Amino acid sequence: ILNVEQSPQSLHVQEGDSTNFTCSFPSSNFYALHWYRWETAKSPEALFVMTLNGDEKKKGRISATLNTKEGYSYLYIKGSQPEDSATYLCAPYQGAGSYQLTFGKGTKLSVIP
């Protein structure tokens, strides 16, 4: 079972603030790193799937970076909006060695209007 750590566990920010979260994972047997957003009463939704060291991906105001050598990824939200309130989950994927994703506990973001 992989050790996946996310920090902080929860975060309250004011609307318009920018914020970031961290995901740490084992760097060995790395294949891909997933970020998901899980809003209350909805299904988890994929934000990014990242595979290359140094990769940076962006979707609107949300971006993510990946360091596979040291085993971490950052998720950034610029100018947080109330609709960004959700739990953000990261999960490394080891590919053919194991088909499962191992999720961290998530970071719960609350954006205060």
Does 37 sit near another protein (CB under 8 A)?
no
Does 105 sit near another protein (CB under 8 A)?
yes
How far apart are alpha carbons 49 and 18 in whole angstroms? 22
Say which residue the tokens 């060291």 belong to: 53
Does 43 sit near another protein (CB under 8 A)?
yes
**Region binding another protein by CB under 8 A among candidate stretches 12-20, 26-34, 66-74, 78-86:** 26-34
For residue 27, give the DSSP letter: -
Q: Based on CB atoms, which residue is closest to another protein, 28 or 99? A: 99
How far apart are alpha carbons 109 and 84 in whole angstroms? 7
